[in-house]
């Protein structure tokens, strides 16, 4: 049992560091973004990373004090707040977005980070020693997937704003 506790402590330390690194990257990317959407997306992601870090730190404290996992169930955030902001910002900007190459590079790195995080949390869920731990890591993994999808959406919008609008608005060629 001591090995399991050591394993979870190490996993939580690693998760906390990933979230700190993510927050730092997203904060900097938001400041360097050349457009309104990036200036909203990256800080929102930084907030999400900070939220995750705080949750990990709370669990770390409880486990370190040998109190175990918190009993409260964790449900994934469905990213609704950001979806609303993202959709509104894009509608206001329309297809006239200005994008620098550095923005694409930042999004690519962000996508890699989200994949790495999601894979780590998914793996932790499969090795969990309790349903509470498993559900927690599955919920965090789902949130990371939501971040990944938001970044994919942004990348697609930056690459082809007109195509993005056509796809998301579900316009058909016959006018219906």
CA–CA separation, 77 vs 83, rounded Å? 12
Domain assignment present for 175 = no
Q: Please name the helix (run of DSSP H) or strand (run of DSSP E) that holds residue 173, with its range, or none.
A: none
Supply the CATH number for residue 92's domain: 1.20.1260.10
Domain tally for the chain?
1
Residue 86 has pLDDT above 80, yes or no: no
Task: Give the Å distances, CA to CA, from 76 to 58, 73, 145.
Answer: 17, 10, 10
Looking at every residue in the chain, the average pLDDT score rounds to: 83
For 98-110, what is each residue's pLDDT tens digit? 778 888 999 999 9
Domain range spanning residue 119? 2-169
For 4-49, what is each residue's pLDDT tens digit? 667 888 999 999 999 999 999 999 999 999 888 888 889 999 999 9
């Amino acid at each position: 049992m001591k090995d399991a506790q050591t394993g979870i402590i190490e996993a939580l330390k690693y998760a906390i560091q990933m979230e700190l690194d993510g927050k730092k990257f997203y904060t900097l990317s938001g400041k360097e973004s050349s457009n309104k959407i990036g200036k909203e997306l990256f800080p929102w992601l930084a907030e999400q990373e900070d939220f995750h870090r705080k949750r990990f730190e709370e669990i770390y404290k409880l486990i370190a004090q040998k109190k175990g996992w918190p009993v409260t169930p964790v449900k994934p955030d469905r990213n609704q707040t950001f979806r609303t902001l993202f959709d509104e910002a894009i509608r206001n900007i329309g297809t006239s977005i200005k994008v620098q190459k550095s923005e694409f590079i930042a999004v690519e790195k962000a996508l890699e980070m989200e994949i790495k995080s999601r894979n780590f949390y998914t793996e932790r869920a499969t090795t969990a020693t309790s349903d509470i731990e498993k559900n927690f890591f599955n919920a965090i993994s789902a949130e990371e997937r939501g971040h990944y999808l938001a970044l994919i959406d942004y990348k697609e919008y930056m690459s082809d704003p007109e195509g993005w609008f056509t796809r998301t608005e579900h316009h058909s060629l016959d006018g219906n």
